[in-house]
Amino acid sequence: MRNLTLLTDLYQLTMMYGYSKNRQMDRIAVFDVFYRGVGNNYAVACGLEQVVDYILHLRFEDDDIAYLRSLNLFDEPFLQLLRDFRFTGDIYAVPEGTVVFPQEPILTVKARLFEAQLIETAILCILNHQTLIATKTAKIVYAARGGAIAEFGLRRAQGPDAGIYGARAAMIAGCASTSNVLAGQMFDVPISGTHAHSWVMSFDTELDAFRAYAQMYPDSCLLLVDTYDTLGSGVPHAIQVFRELRAAGHEPIGIRLDSGDLAYLSRKAREMLDEAGFENAKIFASGDIDENVLQSLFTQNAAIDCWGIGTKLITSSDCPSLGGVYKLAAIEQDGQLVPKMKMSDTPAKITNPGFKKVVRLLDKTSGKAIADLICLREETFDGMQEIEIFHPDFAWKRKRVTNFIAQELHVQVIRDGKLVYDLPDVRDIAAYHKQSFGAFWNEYKRMLNPNIYKVDLSHKLFDLKQRLIKQYGGVEKSDK
């Protein structure tokens, strides 16, 4: 694990310096990480394991101290505080793979203000990226209607870390494999890949290239057929090689299309393969595909079984930023946690105060999610037979919920600076994500005009928020 302690914004350090000078550093503070929802009606939480690694390895090394000294911004007593720095607080989070919604705390930090301030930037960097890619992947996997998705994005990722941890997020959100060999090694996930156009072009003929590949991998032969003429030579040559494989006692996997009209080419290729007796041969497609392209291809009756998706997945091309934020929710005063909230003329930027958690209401009969409640941490719903939920902005929109199970989403991950949570491996997280995603009706997951899932505030949190709005002067002035 690299030492990422200086992976922070300068103003985190200047604020820490200020806290040390103003006797604020030891006050306990609560910060929430959440996203506001621009571009995503739901998200898939991802990156917790890397946050934990970062937190547990926080150390200002001699080189770090020397560099900070060279900036001439800090005095020696402060630099000594950094030299002795260790995270000693608590962290709560939803497990990786959990489906979450705007305004819901994905992760909550409770720690000394001095500690909690430093870690903001790195936590957001890690969670924003992996959650973004996991969310994009979940949409693609859903749109594929059960077809296997292979993550192919490493060459188009914005740097090695984006390629490695983007692949991790993609596997968590439902990809069947990744082309990224290092990610396969690091996270013990399936890797996949065959050959490129350059392989075909390096031989005298396309047929020679196909035969050479089939000789190397007779039991896993999948041939790229669009280097020259997909239907005129690529598919016929593949069929010729498949016949030779079968005569030798082997069965091919199938063909890959990487360009052209994928709907038309796949239908024609399917006819040719079936007529030749290779009804079980798969058709694999790649080439700038995302959930919108998938939906279009299905409406055109494309005969494609599996998909390789790279650029638009690994960069989340239509929504390049999750927009997650890290906001102060409470701070210690006279030994008590005092709720805090940010006011704004932009309603979406008004935060929810207090030390909070998220409770998901699940129907006892179907197991499907009914609504989420953002509530104060001390609240409990055990044993309740009925609960009234209401829209946090339009309180007249109300619903009585019965026959439900109240599931708390947060788990404690770090206590007093020590790991207290068993971090699952990527395969287990992927299985958990499938369960979490499956708890939602398709109406919430469709691409066009999805139904908006109910995320409400508990009565206690709503009342607290209204009191603070009045306290902070949240009444429009008549002379404004």
Q: What is the pLDDT of residues 150-175, one digit of tens each?
A: 999 999 999 999 999 999 999 999 99
pLDDT at 1: 61
- Across the range 124-140, mean pLDDT stands at 98
Cα distances (Å, whole numbers) of residue 57 to 50, 60, 406: 11, 10, 35
Residue 250 pLDDT? 98
CB distance 374 to 103 below 8 Å: yes
Are 331 and 29 a contacting pair, CB within 8 Å?
A: yes
Question: In the block, which residue shows the tokens 């953002």?
Answer: 374
Q: What is the mean pLDDT of residues 93-117?
A: 98
pLDDT of res. 479: 41
Give the span between the Cα atoms of 427 and 168, in whole angstroms. 10
How far apart (Å, rounded) are the C-alpha atoms in residues 302 and 261? Answer: 10
Q: In whole angstroms, how large is the CA radius of gyration of the chain?
A: 27
Beta strands in 64-154 (DSSP E): 90-93, 99-100, 107-112, 148-151
Report whether pLDDT(421) > 70. Answer: yes
Q: How confident is the model at residue 478 (pLDDT cuts 50, 70, 90)?
A: very low
Amino acid 474: pLDDT: 57
- At 201-218, the pLDDT tens digits run 999 999 999 999 999 999
Are the CB atoms for 80 and 405 separated by under 8 Å? no
Calculate mean pLDDT across residues 70-76: 98
Residue 252 has pLDDT above 60, yes or no: yes
Instruction: Tell me the pLDDT band of 473, cut-offs 50, 70 and 90.
Output: confident
Altogether, the residues listed in the chain come to a count of 480
In sequence order, which residues have a C-beta less than 8 Å from that of residue 41 and are 6 or more positions away? 101, 102, 444, 450, 452, 453
pLDDT of residue 480: 38
| Spatial separation of the C-alpha atoms in residues 75 and 82, rounded to whole Å | 11
> What per-residue confidence (pLDDT) applies to 477?
45
Do residues 373 and 456 touch, judged by C-beta distance below 8 A? Answer: yes
Q: Is a pLDDT exceeding 60 seen at residue 476?
A: no
The residues pairing with 411 across neighbouring beta strands, listed in sequence order, are 93
- As a whole number, the mean pLDDT across the chain is 95
**Can you tell me the mean pLDDT for 327-345?**
94
Mean pLDDT for the stretch of residues 42-56: 98
Instruction: Give tens-digit pLDDT for 359-415.
Output: 999 999 999 999 999 999 999 998 889 999 998 888 889 999 999 999 999 999 999
Higher pLDDT, 203 or 473: 203
Angle ∠(332,57,422) on CA atoms, nearest 5: 85
Give me the mean pLDDT over the 16-35 stretch. Answer: 97
Q: What's phi and psi for 373, nearest 5 deg?
A: -120, 125
Q: Which of 30-44, 130-144, 357-371 has the lowest mean pLDDT?
A: 30-44
Per-residue pLDDT averaged across 215-242, rounded?
A: 98
Burial of 268 (0-12, 13-18, 19+ CB in 10 A): middle
Distance, in Å, from the CA atom of 159 to the CA atom of 154, rounded to the nearest integer, reads: 8
pLDDT class for 38, splitting at 50, 70, 90?
low
pTM to 2 decimal places: 0.95
For residues 37 and 242, the model is more confident at: 242
In degrees and rounded to multiples of 5, residue 5 shows phi and psi of -60, -35
